[in-house]
Amino acid sequence: MNRLLFFIFSFQLFITQIYTEQCELTLNDETQLTFNTFLQAKKFCSSISLPTKNTRRIILTGRLVDYTTRCKRSITDANIEIIHIQSDLRSVCHELHHPDSRGSYTLSTFVTIPSTERLFLRITSPGYETVLKEIIIPSSEKRQKNIILKWQIALTPSQEQIETYQQQQGRMDSTIDDLMSKMTLEEKIGQLNLVTVGFDVTGPIVSENVDENIRLGRIGGVFNTFTPKAVRPLQELAMNHTRLRIPLIFGYDVIHGHRTIFPISLGMSTTWDMASIETSARIAAQEATADGLNWVFSPMVDIARDARWGRISEGAGEDPWLGSQIAAAMIRGYQGSDLTQSNTAMACVKHFALYGGAEAGRDYNTVDMSRITMYQYFLAPYRAAIDAGAGSVMTSFNEVDSVPASANRWLLQDLLREQWKFNGFVVTDYTSINEMVDHGIGDLQEVSARALDAGVDMDMVGEGFLKTLNKSFSEGKIKEQIINQACRRILEAKYKLGLFDDPYRYCDDSRPDTDIFTNENRLAARDFARRSFVLLKTDRKTLPLARSNLNIALIGPLADDHRNLIGSWSAAGDWRQSVSVREGINKLVGSQTQILYAKGSNLVEDEYMLKQLNAHGGEIELDPRTPEQMIAEAVEISTRSDVIVAVIGESQGMTGEAASRVDIGLPECQKLLLKALFDTGKPVVIVLMNGRPMTLKWEQEHAAAILETWFAGTEAGNAIAEVLFGLYNPAGKLTTTFPQHVGQIPLYYNHKNTGRPFNASQFTDKYKSRYLDIPNEPLYPFGYGLSYTTFNFSSINVDKTELRGDSDRLTVRVLIRNTGAYSGEEVIQLYISDPAASVTRAVRELKNFKKIYLRSQQSEEISFVITTEDLKFYNTNLDYIWEEGDFIIHVGPDSVNTQSIRVKWLK
Ligand code: BGC
């Protein structure tokens, strides 16, 4: 029996390896864990018995954290051991594990029930007290084959560690006290001024006399300048020509990669893969800091429910829970565990707050929402970023409760600093102090004083602080203590970045060659890209395409394009280095397959749109041929092919900042092309590139398959080829709802029920919340995404249906089976509804998910542990509480196709 089991495991491992080599699919952690833990246990613990009927697998999972620095800090350097001790107190074995780069651990061991041994968890980490905890299996769990215990473990620093913290804090305080005691008021105000100069223009005006102002000590930081070569002379001006030699901080919009460009942020979010998201930020920080920078204006964590808003492309979608996980992962990635390292950068969470709520999806427009909606649906990701230790926050352009964010004391003081305990610094967005004059709350002197008083520490570009604070001070309108406080926060940031020790630590001329645009970074970019793709439609026979003996018509204005692939906000990325779809396909299958290419149409022909796009680097050249001639060529090659791959969508400039649209469909000229392609009767695979949810109802009806690829970055073409030809099975899931029609917007999955909910089966009912012309449903819901394979979800199994109190736990189990012919990943999503509460609740809310990899015909039981934390919401007093009653738990592959079960949870 033992030999048989071992043979099965070895065989599975063997298959996995073959598959991995052939298809470059990597096993995900969970799957790997099963084998590795088993093999490891076998190797080190000879007395451990192989699984039998009474064997239970105990899976311990959670994070190691340190709360002493106020912000939760992950502990990554630790030994985690499971110790089995026989009843005669003889230790039978140790199994050693380590947390990952996020402090997360998952480890498992086998025990026999009833057990003759006791299990302990021991954690040792340098600088912390050792933790020894007995692992007691709850009796309700004993019958389960897999017993999951979720433990977040807080380690207590040793006395020595506490002293080190205190010393560090003390050293910082005394350095800054000493420095500030020498600073004049003008020099202090100078620190609050951030200017733009250099390679990029990201706003309506640019700073002037920068060199001169640095020399005069009137500048605290610079952005849009990078490369050690360009940064060093500016830093030298500050270090060699100012009285107090205070170093400058150097920032930039590093949003989805720095030089190696990853998918746009919306695309990264559709990976539902926190490890990839964190790694993408890590690589971006590595490249940015090698390029002279130490401060990144990211993550952008604004929740957005309106696809017309161009900046929906920059965020993580519509869900506050998922957005929070992503925000924290990005902060960990950028800042690492030590900001003084020369390869970590300070993050800047933006745009605080509610920027995504712009009315009518028009950028910079007014935002108006109730406090409870803010707390319940919009604020969580900012908070998560702050809890993860974000060093800075950027204000938003919009107003919050009728006061612009940059002068909103409630927002920046009461909420951010008092409730959330933020201790970094606040910078405005680009000229947003000056823009408060247009908002209508005062002249420049007035709005600058209000911004400082509200809690802004640094003024981006507008120079309102520089020009008016001194005057306001002498007129008694602001106190010196507030200027001191803002100045101190900027100096602290510089201190934390290690700039007082070495102002040139990010100006190492040798690093660009070794750290930037490396092969590894490009491979990572390719992997993130293919993980971000969402298969919106498949007829299950056209894709994946055969790698040989196939005639392909590759058509579309984006099929051979480079300019648009890196998307908007692509930092220092060079689009010329990106791989087009045509190049990617040719490289992969060009020798075995016939690929005929035609552009088919222009990207856009509408003159109003074209002029605007080209005025800001769109570089869209109109083809000299008529639309009819281009379409005729595309149709001609299609008739000679087996399948059409149409690469179409938006140009990169059609989303991003100041890029709102009212029509979120494909541009008309591309629709004409598509119609002609559909008319050929050949199967059409649409490869979409875009930065927002689009209206695709007609396309959905006629295409054989639709692959959403966003703007996938430097490696877009290679990644798209790998997915089209089945080297990677797409597994992305939407993080924004795709409407059927633009008139449905705002449309989001976590909406309220209303008092007259519409029931589609009684669609002639008049007095219901609905439209007369189309159903309420979206085209593709939140969480949606298909695969080349199929997954079957068993019905939900819960360990109890009645629970009581805060310490109770609900375990939800579902068996997932890969019922198709391909290996693939599935995202198992858990939603909770609270059908009766003191305030109205969303119809359902995402509370957890797991992404698993299953080979064809393989099954895996997935469990989620629900605690009362998952039931909490804000009541009318804005207390974060849970109320007893019924709850409905939903599990499924998206937010609509779920299985549900009702439980009762009492106080
Ligand atoms: C944007 C910010 C950006 C800043 C600096 C502003 O226009 O709203 O997201 O960080 O410019 O480039």
pLDDT band of 643, cuts 50, 70, 90: very high
140/813 Cα distance (integer angstroms): 14
pLDDT at 746: 98
Residue type at 76 in one-letter notation:
T
273-301 burial, b at 16+ Cβ within 10 Å, e below that, comes to: bbbbbbbbbbbbbbbbbbbbbbbbbbbbb
- 156 in ligand 1 pocket by Cβ < 6 Å? no
Q: How far apart are the CA of 576 and the centre of ligand 1, in A?
A: 24
- Is residue 180 classed exposed, middle or buried when 0-12, 13-18 and 19+ CB atoms within 10 A define those classes? middle
Neighbouring C-beta atoms of residue 571, cutoff 10 Å:
25
Residue indicated by tokens 């970055």: 713
Contact status, residue 823 vs residue 789, Cβ threshold 8 Å: yes
- Position 16 pLDDT exceeds 80: no
- Average pLDDT value over all residues in the chain: 91
Helix (H, G, I), strand (E, B) or coil at 754: coil
Confidence of residue 708 (pLDDT cuts 50, 70, 90): very high
Per-residue pLDDT, averaged over 458-480, amounts to 98
pLDDT for the residue 89: 57
Q: Under a CB-based contact definition with an 8 Å cutoff, are residues 470 and 186 in contact?
A: yes
Among the listed residues 66, 302, 387, 429, the single catalytic one is 429
- Using one digit for the tens of pLDDT, what is the confidence trace for 189-227? 999 999 999 998 989 888 999 999 999 999 999 999 999
Per-residue pLDDT for 606 more than 50?
Answer: yes
- Domains of the chain in start order, with CATH, are 160-513 (3.20.20.300), 534-731 (3.40.50.1700), 791-905 (2.60.40.10)
Angstrom distances, CA of residue 272 to CA of 269, 848, 852: 6, 11, 11
- What's residue 58's pLDDT? 85
What is the Å distance from ligand 1's center to 298 Cα? 10
Closest CA to 268 of 285, 249, 252, 255: 255
460 CB-near residues (< 8 Å, 6+ apart):
194, 196, 223, 394, 427, 428, 429, 430, 431, 432
pLDDT digits (tens, 9 = 90+) for 504-527: 999 999 999 999 999 999 999 999
Atom of ligand 1 at shortest range from CA of 200: 12
Ligand 1 within 6 A of 430 CB? yes
Q: Is the pTM higher than 0.75? A: yes
Task: Tell how far the Cα of 229 is from the centroid of ligand 1, in angstroms.
Answer: 24
Query: Rounded to the nearest whole angstrom, what is the distance from the C-alpha of residue 846 to the centroid of ligand 1?
Result: 30
β-sheet bridge partners, residue 63: 104
Mutation test residue for ligand 1: of 194, 657, 660, the one with most atoms within 8 Å of CB: 657
Taking CA 104 as the corner, what is the angle to CA 100 and CA 108, rounded to the nearest 5 degrees? 95
Residue 714 CA to residue 725 CA, distance in Å, equals 19
Atom of ligand 1 nearest to the CA of 350: 9
Ligand 1 neighbourhood includes 314 CB (under 6 angstroms): no
Tens-place pLDDT, residues 437-457:
999 999 999 999 999 999 999
Provide mean pLDDT across the span 790-802.
97
Residue 777's Cβ-side half-sphere holds a number of Cα atoms within 13 Å equal to 12
pLDDT of residue 19: 31
Q: What is the mean pLDDT of residues 878-899?
A: 98
Taking the C-alpha atoms of residue 677 and residue 651, their distance in angstroms, rounded to an integer, is 21
Question: How far is 648 from 343, CA to CA, in rounded Å?
Answer: 38
C-beta of 202 in contact with ligand 1 (< 6 A): yes
352 CB near ligand 1 (under 6 Å): no
Residue 305: how many CB atoms within 10 A of its CB? 23
Tell me the percentage of the chain whose pLDDT exceeds 70.
93
Query: Closest ligand 1 atom to the C-alpha of 351?
Result: 9
φ/ψ bin of 181: left (φ > 0), alpha (ψ from -120 to 50), beta (otherwise): alpha
Q: Is 206 in the pocket of ligand 1 (CB under 6 A)?
A: no
Beta carbon of 561 within 6 Å of any ligand 1 atom: no
Of 115, 116, 114, 95, which is closest to residue 106 (Cα–Cα)? 95
Ligand 1 atom with least separation from CA of 297: 10
Helix (H/G/I), strand (E/B), else coil: 476: coil
Can 429 be counted among the known catalytic residues? Answer: yes
Helical axes 274-290 vs 320-335, angle rounded to 10°: 40
Coil, strand or helix: which one is 150? Answer: strand
Report pLDDT digits (tens) over 74-107: 788 888 888 887 766 555 566 677 887 678 888 8
